Amino acid sequence: MVERLVANEKVEGSTPFARSIFMNDLKDKKCVPCEGGITPFDLSEIHKYQKKVDGWSLIKGDKENFLLEKDFKFKNFLESQNFINEVGRISEAEGHHPDILFGWGYAKIKITTHAIEGLSENDFILAAKIDEITNV
């Protein structure tokens, strides 16, 4: 069971203009390989970073860890598939791989750093890069 905690739109100080400025900061970074040994972000750090991405919800997963999640809508299956192929290309280049569910006219992406069972800067970098391809 997944518990939805906070939707990005409700995070105080998270305006589209502010997110666009801060998102540039994240999308220009590169994910750093993580093999564990670091502490996942706490809620205050998560909320700070959540202001930098557009529309990603914070959810609590089965292991009581936090994930980012976002739903995307498309006109048909081919648009969904093309989007997912681009997400896959970016994910492979970053060495950071989300969980993806997609079908006719939709895609759902969940991002977490599996090695630490929580969120790190890498997750927000990947979210910003995924958002960038939806704004092209």
pLDDT, tens digit (0-9, with 9 covering 90-100), for 33-89: 566 667 888 899 999 999 889 899 999 887 778 999 999 999 999 999 999 999 999
Q: What is the pTM of this model?
A: 0.78
Numbers of helices and strands, H then E, in the chain: 4, 5
Question: How many Å apart are CA 24 and CA 16, to the nearest integer?
Answer: 12
Mean residue pLDDT of the chain comes to 80
Q: Where are the domains of the chain?
A: 3-134
pLDDT band of 3, cuts 50, 70, 90: very low
Assigned fold of 3-134: Gyrase A; domain 2 (3.30.1360)
